[in-house]
Amino acid sequence: MEFHVLSSDEQIAAAFPLMVQLRPHLETDSFVTSVRLQEREGFRLVGGFSGSTLVVLAGVRESRTLMRGLHLFVDDLVTLASEQGKGHGKAMVRWLARDAAGHGIRRIYLDSRDTALWFYRGVGFTPQTSVSCWVDVDQILSPPPSAGL
């Protein structure tokens, strides 16, 4: 398996069919632009290839926070459906770990779906108890409806 950062528009566009397996809300027309915007903040798409076939894909970014310090954050990790269970995801995590270590990064973090925890535990991740939360800004800024209406 060979890994490399996808850098050209063509390479990024060619990764869309794999990424959409994980992120079905994405649209072909805006995918490259979205990746390019994220790259301004350190995002990288890393592809894992078996021959010429892209079989595993990771979207990662180097980050520094008060809570975690310097770390690599994995936003996206997806393996081609027909190739799952063949070790490609584990190989990608190992490649990311070597790459992170080469840049002086000692920890990798990610958010996981419940259904993928078995995989992440199997490659050495320790689940934490935090829960991702979100809210639309308008929901906070809009006054609540009157009780009687």
Q: What pLDDT does residue 148 have?
A: 55
pLDDT-derived band at 149 (thresholds 50, 70, 90) equals low
H helix or E strand, kind and range, residue 7: none
Pick the CATH number of 2-141 from 3.40.50.11240, 3.40.50.2000, 3.40.50.720, 3.40.630.30: 3.40.630.30
- 71 with 107: CB under 8 angstroms? yes
| HEC-encoded secondary structure of 48-109 | EEECCEEEEEEEEEEEEECCCEEEEEEEEEEECHHHCCCCHHHHHHHHHHHHHHHCCCCCEE
Instruction: Reply yes or no on whether the pLDDT at 145 is more than 90.
Output: no
Is 130 a residue whose pLDDT tops 80? no
Domain extents for the chain?
2-141
Q: Are 41 and 61 in contact (CB under 8 A)?
A: yes
pLDDT at 143 over 90: no
pLDDT band of 147, cuts 50, 70, 90: low
Rg (CA), the chain: 18
The set of residues, in sequence order, having a beta carbon less than 8 Å from that of 44 and lying 6+ positions away, is 5, 6, 59, 60, 61
Q: What are 35-71's pLDDT values in tens digits?
A: 999 999 999 999 999 999 999 999 999 999 999 999 9
Query: For residue 69, what are its two tokens?
Result: 């310090």
What sign for the dihedral angle of Cα 51, 57, 59, 61?
negative
Q: Is 116 exposed, middle or buried (0-12, 13-18, 19+ CB in 10 A)?
A: middle
pLDDT tens digit string along 64-112?
999 999 999 999 999 999 999 999 999 999 999 999 999 999 999 988 8
Structure-token pair, residue 61: 């970014």
Higher model confidence: residue 133 or residue 91?
Answer: 91
